[in-house]
A and B are shown apart, each in its own frame.
Chain A
Amino acid sequence: DIQMTQSPSSLSASVGDRVTITCQASQDISNYLNWYQQKPGKAPKLLIYDASNLETGVPSRFSGSGSGTDFTFTISSLQPEDIATYYCQQYDNLSITFGQGTRLEIK
């Protein structure tokens, strides 16, 4: 199975900061990489699909990039409502795995 290594596991940043989360796959997954946001007590929500495509209705401060094994998720200017845990997810060849998650807090 493909393993996803997500880092950091937690992150504290100030409102307005640029925030970056990375995800590394154990083998080439092309662009088959998605990003989700999960707020406390809520179901996850899709933000980015196929590495860099912004889901409809998601604010443009969220973005994704990468291909192959290395991927990046960025919040260009952190807002208070962005406090959540973020997960990457790969779907190469009928194998689906999530990263361990990144818990984002406001400083």
Chain B
Amino acid sequence: EVQLVESGGGLVQPGRSLRLSCAASGFTFDDYAMHWVRQAPGKGLEWVSGISWNSGSIGYADSVKGRFTISRDNAKNSLYLQMNSLRAEDTALYYCAKANSGSYSNWFDPWGQGTLVTVSS
């Protein structure tokens, strides 16, 4: 069974940094691209970033470009999101999601349960 478990969320002050992690199991991690998708409280889904199987192709939403960095460690079956210069509008539940192939440009299935990031002073 595919499992994605996010961690690293919490309360952080504006301008500070946070690093999210996603531990993957139940599939051959380095065969698949991975994504981060977020959902602000009471709002819709927003794609944040995606990374191909070998980190050769990476993309970001305009809202996080230059502040967030996605990475992966295939030896540890783990996905990461380094979030710098955090803003109040980054407050959201952050989901890790598996792509359906090595290229990140496709669909998300399955999703983890999410980790909550709250940016507030």
Contacts and interface: CB of A to CB of B under 8 A. Distances in A.
Do these two chains really belong together in a complex? yes
Interface stretch (A15-23, A42-50, A63-71, A75-83): A42-50
Contacts of A85: 44
A93 B109 CA distance: 19
Contact of B95 (A43, A46, A96): A43
A73 interface: no
B47 interface: yes
A95 interface: yes
Q: Which 7 pairs of residues, A with B, have the shortest CB-CB distance?
A: A43-B111, A46-B109, A96-B47, A34-B107, A101-B44, A98-B45, A49-B107
Contacts of B107: 34, 46, 49-50, 89, 91
B108 A94 contact: no
A90 B45 CA distance: 12
Interface residues of A, number: 26
Interface of B: 35, 44-47, 50, 57, 59, 62, 95, 100, 104-114
A94 B47 contact: no
B57 A100 contact: no
27 contacts: A1-B62, A34-B107, A43-B112, A43-B114, A44-B45, A45-B109, A45-B111, A46-B107, A46-B108, A49-B109, A50-B107, A87-B44, A87-B45, A89-B45, A89-B47, A89-B108, A92-B105, A93-B105, A94-B50, A94-B59, A96-B47, A97-B47, A98-B44, A98-B46, A98-B47, A100-B44, A101-B44
Given A94-B105, A101-B45, A43 B59 contact: no
A97 to B, nearest CB: 6
Interface string A11-42: 00000000000000000000010101010000
Nearest to B103: A94
Contacts of A34: 107-108
Contacts of A93: 105
Identify the interface centre among B45, B46, B110: most chain A CB within 10 Å of its CB. B45
